[in-house]
């Protein structure tokens, strides 16, 4: 399988549940990202991992907890979410070439449509 794969595609969870979103990339990239896409809002960058280290956390609430065990896998652990957290969560990857260089090609997964009830 090639590209960026996200599972599950759809998730409905209650506010007291704990669930995890999974992202896997088969492109040999060394940076991965979580984005949140809500209706009528711009895509929001949530987390950035480069070489498996978190390099950016854009003031995301602690009920979202990322994990990057290796360069191919990225998780987003969810707990005690709110209805306003319902959105499409997109994972992306890119190749940072070192020395500050990048090919700038972000490859996106198909997303997980999350509904919090």
Binding site for other proteins (CB under 8 A): 4, 6, 33, 40-43, 45, 48, 56, 90, 92, 96, 99-102, 104-111, 113
Can you tell me whether residue 84 is helix, strand or coil? helix
C-beta closer to other proteins: residue 20 or 110: 110
- Give the integer Cα–Cα distance in Å for 117 and 68: 27
- We find the least distance from the C-beta atom of residue 10 to other proteins, in angstroms, to be 9
Residue 10 to residue 41: CA distance in whole angstroms:
20
Whole-number minimum distance, CB 75 to other proteins, in Å? 17
Radius of gyration of the chain (CA): 14
Minimum CB–partner distance for residue 88 and other proteins (Å): 9
């Amino acid at each position: 399988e090639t590209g960026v794969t996200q599972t599950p595609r759809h998730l409905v969870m209650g506010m007291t549940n704990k669930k995890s979103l999974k992202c896997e990339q088969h492109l040999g990239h060394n940076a991965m990202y979580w984005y949140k896409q809500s209706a009528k809002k711009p895509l929001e960058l949530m987390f950035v991992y480069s070489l498996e280290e978190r390099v950016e956390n854009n003031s995301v609430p602690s009920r979202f907890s990322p994990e990057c065990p290796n360069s191919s896998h990225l998780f987003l652990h969810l707990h005690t979410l709110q209805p306003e957290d319902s959105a499409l969560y997109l994972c992306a990857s890119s190749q940072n070439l070192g020395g500050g260089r990048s090919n700038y090609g972000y490859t996106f997964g198909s997303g997980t449509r999350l509904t919090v009830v």
